[in-house]
Amino acid sequence: MPSTAPRSAASPFRLLLCTLLLALFATLIPSAEASALTTTIAANERTCFFALVDKSGEKVGFYFAVQSGGSFDIDWTVTDPSDTIVIEGERERQGDYIFTAHLIGEYSFCFSNDMSSFSEKLVDFDIMVESEPRPVAPAKPTALTEQTSSLEESIYKLSGSLSSIQRTQKYFRTRENRNVSTVKSTQWRIFAFSISESLLMCGMSAFQVWVVQRFFSGPSRRRQV
């Protein structure tokens, strides 16, 4: 009967390796709270959203893009719990910002459409609050140091690639929505211009017929000799 001692000796090693890899992967996942929203802001309206920061030094990410309405621009302001403006912008189409929250409390993210008198704006935005300390790998045997280090670097590369893909998707989504809005606006303008042109031609034709009728239906004038 063949001996099974080597296989049984390798099983605890594999189990330990899997446990360490799972623990390392768990430490690499940052604790984050995010919200992806879409809101409509009417003309002369100001809308605010709030995010809670429960620890000083946390990173706050703020992304927005105007999808439709007017010139695709909006005024925005980010204030901290003491009502101090952290960052702000005027008539911007989109933005992607990351800042460090030094105060604990609610941060407000406000959009203002005061510059528009009749056009409403459709805004897509993300607010993310995350705490991302440098992960520390648990105690591990020296033989696994090289494997866990390569795994850590691979996870960081995958995380960066995923963030790049998400940004690209957001960019193309914004471009698509803006192009659709521009096409719809152009179609409506062409339709309105065609109707106006048709009404103008009908009016001019009726006016010409009326002038000809008035010219021939008037009383005949006789020359006096």
Mean pLDDT of the chain: 77
**What is the predicted pLDDT for the residue at 108?**
95
- What token pair was written down for 107? 């941060």
Instruction: Select the CATH number that applies to the domain covering 28-135 from these four: 2.60.120.680, 2.60.120.260, 2.40.40.20, 3.10.310.30.
Output: 2.60.120.680
**What is the predicted pLDDT for the residue at 117?**
78
Q: Is the pTM of this model over 0.75?
A: no
pLDDT tens digits along 74-112:
999 999 999 999 999 999 988 889 999 999 999 999 999
Q: From CA 96, how far away is CA 112, in angstroms rounded? A: 17
Say how many C-beta atoms besides its own lie within 10 A of residue 63's C-beta: 19
Specify burial of residue 52 (Cβ count, 10 A radius: 0-12, 13-18, 19+).
exposed
Closest C-alpha among 109, 117, 28 to residue 71: 117
Confidence of residue 15 (pLDDT cuts 50, 70, 90): low
Q: From CA 127, how far away is CA 63, in angstroms rounded? A: 7
Q: For residue 22, is pLDDT > 60? A: no
Helix (H, G, I), strand (E, B) or coil at 122: strand
Dihedral angle sign, alpha carbons of residues 64, 67, 72, 74: negative
Helix (H, G, I), strand (E, B) or coil at 108: strand
pLDDT tens digits along 140-198:
455 555 566 777 777 877 877 787 787 788 778 877 877 887 888 888 889 888 999 89
Confidence of residue 10 (pLDDT cuts 50, 70, 90): very low
Percent of the chain beyond pLDDT 90? 26
**What is the predicted pLDDT for the residue at 100?**
92
Q: For residue 199, is pLDDT > 80? A: yes
Sheet of strand 121-131, all strands in order from the earlier edge strand to the far edge: 31-41, 121-131, 58-68, 94-101
Q: For residue 20, is pLDDT > 90? A: no
**What is the predicted pLDDT for the residue at 209?**
87
Contacts of 25 (CB under 8 A, 6+ apart): 151, 155
Q: Is the separation of the CB atoms in 98 and 58 below 8 Å?
A: no
Closest C-alpha among 29, 35, 63, 32 to residue 131: 32
- Residue ranges covered by each domain of the chain: 28-135, 145-213
Torsion of the alpha carbons at 152, 158, 164 and 170, rounded to the nearest 10: -120
